[in-house]
Amino acid sequence: MGNELIDKYVLFRHRDVENIHQIEVYRANDGYRALEKALKEMQPGDVTNVVKASGLRGRGGAGFPAGVKWGFIPKDIYPKYVVVNADESEPGTFKDREIMTYNPHQLIEGIILTCYAVGAETAYIYGRGEFAPVFRDHLQQAVAEAYRHGYLGRNILGSEFSMELHLHLGAGAYICGEETALLSSLEGQMGQPRSRPPFPAVEGLYAKPTVINNVETLTNVPPIVLHGSDWYRQYGTEKSPGTKIFSLSGRVNKPGNYELPLGTPIRYLIEECGGGIIDGKAVKGILPAGASSAIIGPDKLDTTMDYEAMAAAGTMLGSASFIILDETVDAVWAAEKNVKFFKHESCGKCSPCREGTFWLVNVFRKLREGHGTKQDVELLETIIEQMKGNTFCLLGEFVVPGVRTSIDLFRDEYEALAVAEEETTPGPAKDLIHTFF
Amino acid sequence: MAWTEKEQQELDKILKKYPPDRKLSAVLPALYLAQREKNWLDNDDIQAVADALDIPVTHVHSIIGFYTLFRKEPTGKYMVQVCTDLPCALRGAEDFYRRFCERMGLPPTGGTTEDGLFTVESVVCLAACDKAPMCQINLEYFESLTDDKIDQIIASFREQAKIQQ
């Protein structure tokens, strides 16, 4: 049961209990007991308080304390909504898909508890369009079972509390993982972010108070409510309590999802869980938060995977999607892949992101095709400097740390590509302008 | 196009998910429904979605343009989308994709096969990075692929198409 670092899985309970996706099996293994406990013994505010006390932080990337977020919901405005972010689109992240496929009831129970805590009667799970089979074959069945057993619908378990849970699929847009863009999309608009304030807690879906949390975040809620905050805090660190799912990919022998206590060293994830690097090669770089990451080098392998330590190491934990580069990987190629991703996914709303990613892709292409000059490496640095802090939403500048750290860590590889003669005209090269028109 | 009776029922069911004055929320599910039959949307389909939701047809066009999963041009019966994003590419997905395109008789960038059965393209992350190389075929996941495995899958879709004819 569990793994070497946790006795029993908190989130990936399907790895301990076979067929836990079936409601009978889930119920026979403490399933929906937290909900029964909440409806019988707890006021809504008590649920928020235990989640606050647990220190559970948002698992979508920002790490904001979930209970505190719920506390922002105004009491006297109705209706209220809970929206679950299942847009999982960050390259390297594939944890929510596993939860929804194999342990859907724990997520559903978490959603119901959240609705009870904040007084919402309607919840939506917004999944990326590519999750259509996950929704159709797994989540939809689980939701239907929950309705049949009286955990959803009118007067849940004989209480005064009623709620509806709906599934909604996006249609292919990374930006919809940004919470205000997700709301625009759910309202039937293009998925473009909105300005904040007003924050979704006050004016969210249909301009009503809305809690938005990630799938993994809400999957933590039933065990917290059932076993209490002290139990939850047995794992993790003081400021980053609990377990977390780490999605490990790239040049390791055993890529996959690993649930570990927050605060576990990166080295453990790569060597013990991932079985080390393919062909015994050396680690060259680590992207701890997918394509959005500042890259860190092998000197940071003993950093612990919690929000604070990762920030101190110059990067972030984000959604904990660890993409591992080994010594065989061309650093400029890897950076270009991510830059292309961000150009492809720019929503077009603000010019620093829309134009910035366009120019980055062009300069990378020029370098990689052998026409680069030293000025082009500087041009990359100028472009990201101009993007930094100037994009409309956070996702717009997610391209910046990867390029910045790639140049800082592997500058020799960039300079090795700057083979062409220096250009005499200042500003962007003519052939770059040409491609724009 | 006119909605079939079954589609109309599904549409009504979709609309119930959203507040009565928020029909616009149903635009993505309605587009999926309109696209289901032939895998792409013609002007009649787009108009039908606009009419069903009481929204301007230009809005429906802007939605189709914004999201990647809707298509205004005919495509193959089967959309084969191979992920070649960084995590998959680190496990050989780019070479896998090139070889696959070659065996399908397509240029390295993909395209539609001559018989019109398959449209092959490379796409960004599909949240299956640990099982690279991988692809979706009409959004169904196929993971931990090898050249042989994908060839067999393609062969089985060819069979399926033959039977349906």
Cβ–Cβ gap B86/A291 under 8 Å? yes
Residue A102 shares a structural domain with residue A191: yes
A5 occurs within a structural domain: no
ipTM of this complex prediction, to 2 decimal places: 0.96
Whole-number Å distance between alpha carbons of A357 and A397? 10
pLDDT of residue A423: 62
**Residue A430 — pLDDT band, cuts 50, 70, 90?**
low
- Binary contact (B25, A94; C-beta < 8 A): no
What mean pLDDT is predicted for residues A168-177?
A: 95
Which among A326, A354, A376 is the end of a domain?
A: A326
Whether A144 is in a domain gets the answer yes
Query: In 3-state terms, what secondary structure has residue B52?
Result: helix
Chain A neighbors of B91, CB-CB under 8 A: 249-251, 255
Are residues A61 and A93 located together in one domain of the fold?
yes
Contact A259, A16 (CB under 8 A): no
Residue A437 is assigned to a structural domain of this protein? no
Q: Looking at residue A436, what is its pLDDT?
A: 46
Looking at the fold, whether A92 and A192 belong to one and the same domain comes out as yes
Please tell me whether residues A24 and A111 are part of one structural domain.
yes
Whether the predicted pLDDT of B59 surpasses 60: yes
Buried b (16+ CB within 10 A) or exposed e, B109-138: ebbbbeeebbbbbbbbbbbbbbbbbbbbbe
- pLDDT tens per residue across span A286-340: 999 999 999 999 999 999 999 999 999 999 999 999 999 999 999 999 999 999 9
Residue A349 lies in a domain: yes
Average pLDDT over residues A216-234: 98
Question: A420 pLDDT band (50/70/90 cuts)?
Answer: confident
Q: What's the CATH code of the domain at A270?
A: 3.10.20.600
**pLDDT tier at A428, thresholds 50, 70, 90:** low
For the domain that residue A359 is a member of, what is the CATH number? 1.20.1440.230
Q: For an interface test with A, which of B54, B129, B137 has the most A Cβ atoms less than 10 Å from its Cβ? A: B129
Query: Which of A326, A350, A377 is where one domain is finished?
Result: A326
Average pLDDT of A240-267? 98
- Which residue of B lies nearest to A87 if distances are taken between CA atoms? B127
Q: Do B141 and A133 touch (CB under 8 A)?
A: yes
Percentage of residues in chain A having pLDDT higher than 90? 92
Looking at the structure, do residues A297 and A335 belong to the same domain, yes or no? no
What is this structure's pTM? 0.95
Gap from A228 CA to chain B (nearest CA, Å) = 32
Q: What is the pLDDT of residue B1?
A: 72
Tokens of A253: 């022998």
Sketch out chain B's domains with CATH numbers. Answer: 5-66 (1.10.10), 78-164 (3.40.30.10)
Mean pLDDT (whole number) for B100-122: 96
Whether A315 is in a domain gets the answer yes
Residues A269 and A220 in one domain: no
CA distance B8 to B21: 19
A402 and A289 share a domain?
Answer: no
Place of tokens 């993971």: B143
Domain with residue A78: its CATH number is 3.40.50.11540
Shared domain for A301 and A361, answered yes or no, is no
Is residue A2 in some structural domain?
A: no
Q: Which amino acid is at B18?
A: Y
With an 8 Å Cβ cutoff, is A97 touching chain B? yes
Q: A341-396 pLDDT, tens per residue? A: 999 999 999 999 999 999 999 999 999 998 999 899 999 999 999 999 999 998 98
Q: What's the pLDDT at B164?
A: 85
Whether the pLDDT of residue B77 is over 90: the answer is yes
Domain boundary among A232, A252, A270: A232
A284 and A353 housed in the same domain: no
Do the Cβ atoms of A345 and A426 come closer than 8 Å?
Answer: no
Residue B147, number of CB atoms within 10 A of its CB: 12
Across chain A, mean pLDDT equals 95
Quote the number of domains for chain A. Answer: 3
**Tens of pLDDT along A6-45?**
989 999 999 999 999 999 999 999 999 999 999 999 999 9
Q: Does residue A3 lie within any of the structural domains?
A: no
Q: What is the pLDDT of residues A71-127, one digit of tens each?
A: 999 999 999 999 999 999 999 999 999 999 999 999 999 999 999 999 999 999 999
Residue A279 structural domain: 243-326
Residue A1 covered by a domain: no
The answer on A321 and A375 residing in a single domain is no
Range 4-23 of A in CB contact (< 8 A) with B: none
Helices A104-118 and A140-148, axial angle in degrees (round to 10): 60
Whether A124 contacts A186, CB under 8 Å: yes
Domain shared by A226 and A307, yes or no: no
Clarify whether residues A171 and A256 are in a common domain: no
Quote the distance between the C-alpha of residue A181 and its chain's center. 15
